[in-house]
Amino acid sequence: MNHDHYSDHAIRSILNGVKRIAMVGASANTVRPSYFALKYLMERGYDMRPVNPGQAGGSVLGLEWYARLADVPGPIDMVDVFRGVDALPGVLDEVLALDPLPRVLWLQLGIRDDAIAARAEAHGIEVIMNRCPKI
């Protein structure tokens, strides 16, 4: 996939094809972009699963927090990452340990790592970088 540009059709196809989204780095802070995106996607009917080890055991917007991706029950269609580039290797290790693997790894605005994308794609995972599903 060309990670320099994603067509509107490609983005729509991905978002129309997923139901359960695990958001790594979600926040309960109402002024953070990850909170806005979590709320927006939930309001659009996605089955959202917030992942943040610092919040595990609590809830946000009526959703249970999970400490890590492996704690999310059932299959995950897409992993939406609100973490910096330095956290991506660990996040991808968690993603690749899931069974079944998610269809999509989505990296938020300002986040791009071609090596991470290549590694995920080698396992059949579609990758979107430097985009927000809310925009």
Identify the three-state secondary structure at position 43.
helix
What residues form DSSP beta bridges with 22?
A: 49, 79
pLDDT band for 6, please (50, 70, 90 cuts): very high
- Specify if 2 maps to a domain: no
pLDDT at 1: 72
CA neighbours within 13 Å on the CB side: how many for 16?
A: 6
- Specify if 123 maps to a domain: yes
- Specify if 124 maps to a domain: yes
CATH of the domain at 120: 3.40.50.720
pLDDT digit string, tens, across residues 33-82: 999 999 999 999 999 999 999 999 999 999 999 999 999 999 999 999 99
**pLDDT > 80? residue 13:** yes
- Specify if 95 maps to a domain: yes
Concatenate the DSSP letters of all residues of 84-123 into one string: -GGGHHHHHHHHHTSSSPPSEEEE-TT---HHHHHHHHTT
> What mean pLDDT is reported for the chain?
96
* Helix or strand (DSSP H, E) at 59: strand 59-60
Identify the three-state secondary structure at position 124.
coil
- Specify if 88 maps to a domain: yes
pLDDT at 3: 87
- Specify if 27 maps to a domain: yes
Average pLDDT of 89-104?
99
- The pTM score is 0.96
Report d(CA 123, CA 27) in Å as an integer: 29
- Specify if 29 maps to a domain: yes
- Specify if 9 maps to a domain: no
Structure-derived torsion over alpha carbons of residues 117, 73, 34, 31, reported in degrees to the nearest 10? -170
Range of the domain at 86: 19-128
Domain count of the fold of the chain: 1
pLDDT at 134: 80
Q: What backbone phi and psi angles, to 5 degrees, belong to 60?
A: -140, 130
